[in-house]
Structure 1
Amino acid sequence: MQRPFQRGRLAAALCLAFTTTAAAAAWPERPITLVVPYTPGGPTDIVARVVAQGLGDELGQTVLVDNRSGAGGNIGADLVARAAPDGYTLLMATTAHAINMSLFPDLSYDVRKTFAPVSLLTQGPLVVVARPDLPVASPAELIALAKEKPGELTFASSGNGQSTHLSAELFNAKAGTRMTHVPYRGSAPALTDVMGGQADLMFDTMLSAMPYVASGKLKALAVTSAQRSPAAPDVPTLAESGLEGYEALAWNGLLLPAKTPEPVVERLNDAVRAVLDRPEVRKQFAAQGFAATWMSPADFGAFVGDEVEKWADVVKSSGATVN
Structure 2
Amino acid sequence: MNRTGRTGRRAALGGIGAIAMMAMMVGSQPAAFASEAYPNRPIKMIIPYTPGGSIDTVGRLVAAQLQRQLGQAIVIENRPGASGMIGSEAVAKASADGYTLLFNASSQVYLPLVAKNAPYDAIRDFTPIAQVGHVPLIVVANTSLPTSSLRDLVKLAKAKPRTYTWATSGLGTTSHLAEEMIRHAFKLEMDIVSYKGAVPQLNDVMGGHVSAAVSPMPGAYPFVKAGRLKVLAVTSSKRIPQLPGVPTVAESGLPGFELLSWYGLWGPANLPADITRKLSQEVNKAVREASLKTRFDELAFETVQSTPEQFKVVIKDEIDKVAGIVKAASIRID
TM-score (norm 2): 0.90
CA-to-aligned-CA distance 1:184-224 (integer Å, 9 cap, x gap)? 01100111110010010110111111111111111000000
**1:187 partnered with 2:212:** no
What is the correspondence of 1:170-249 to structure 2 with a 5 Å cutoff?
Answer: 170-249=181-260
Q: Deviation at 1:231?
A: 2.2
1:160 Cα shift? 0.9
1:136 paired to 2:143: no
Give the match for residue 5 of structure 1. Answer: none
Per the alignment, residue 11 of structure 1 pairs with: none
Which one of 41, 47, 54 corresponds to residue 43 of structure 1?
Answer: 54
Match of 1:78 in 2: 89
Q: Which residue of 2 aligns with 1:321?
A: 332
Could you tell me how far 1:181 is from its partner in structure 2? Answer: 0.4
Write the distance in 2 (CA, Å) between the matches of 1:311 and 1:97.
Answer: 12
CA distance in 2, matches of 1:100, 1:206: 20
- The partner residue of 1:291 within 299, 302, 307 is 302
Structure 2 unpaired stretches of 5+: 1-24
Q: Which residue of 2 aligns with 1:168?
A: 179
- The separation in 2 between residues aligned to 1:146 and 1:247, in whole angstroms, is 22
Shift of 1:322: 2.2
Tell me, yes or no, if the aligned pair for 2:249 and 2:257 is still in contact at 8 Å: yes
Residue 270 of structure 2 corresponds to which residue in structure 1? 259
Shift of 1:16: 6.5
- Cα gap change, 1:236 to 1:16, in 2 (>3 Å): farther
What residue number does 2:38 align with? 27
Query: Which residue matches 2:285?
Result: 274
1:258-289 C-alpha deviation (Å, 9 max, x unpaired): 11111111111111011100122122112112
1:184 alignment partner AA: Y
Shift in Å, 1:247: 1.1
CA distance in 2, matches of 1:132, 1:146: 16
Partner-residue secondary structure (3-state), 1:160: coil
| Identity fraction in percent | 38
The 8 Å contact of residues 116 and 332 in structure 2, kept in 1 or not, is answered as: no
Query: 3-state SS of the aligned residue for 1:119?
Result: strand
Aligned 8 A contact 1:119 1:254 in 2: yes
1:159-194 deviation digits (Å, cap 9, x = unpaired):
111111110100011122121100001100111110
The 1:17–1:64 alpha-carbon spacing in structure 2 relative to 1, beyond 3 Å, is farther
Cα separation, 1, equivalents of 2:264 and 2:187: 33
CA distance in 1, matches of 2:106, 2:38: 29
Which ranges in structure 1 are unaligned for 5 or more consecutive residues? Answer: 1-13
The TM-score normalised by the length of structure 1 is: 0.93
Structure number, greater radius of gyration: 2
Moved more, 105-114 or 25-34: 105-114
Sort the Cα spacing of 1:230 and 1:174 in 2 relative to 1 into closer, same or farther, 3 A: same
> 2:78 corresponds to which residue?
67
Question: Is residue 100–residue 161 contact of structure 1 (8 Å, CA) maintained in 2?
Answer: yes
| Aligned mates of 2:98, 2:72 — CA distance in 1 | 12
Q: Across the two proteins, how many residue pairs are aligned to each other?
A: 311
Structure 1: distance between partners of 2:60 and 2:127 = 21
Q: What's the secondary structure of 1:304's corresponding residue? A: helix
- Residue by residue over 1:78-117, the C-alpha shift from the partner in whole angstroms, topping out at 9 and shown as x without a partner, is 1000111111110112111121121112222211121111
**CA RMSD after TM alignment:** 1.6
* Partner residue in 1 for 2:10: none
User: Any conservation in 2 of the 1:101–1:308 contact (CA below 8 Å)?
Assistant: no
Partner Cα distance (1:82, 1:227) in 2: 40
Determine helix, strand or coil for the equivalent of 2:29. Answer: helix
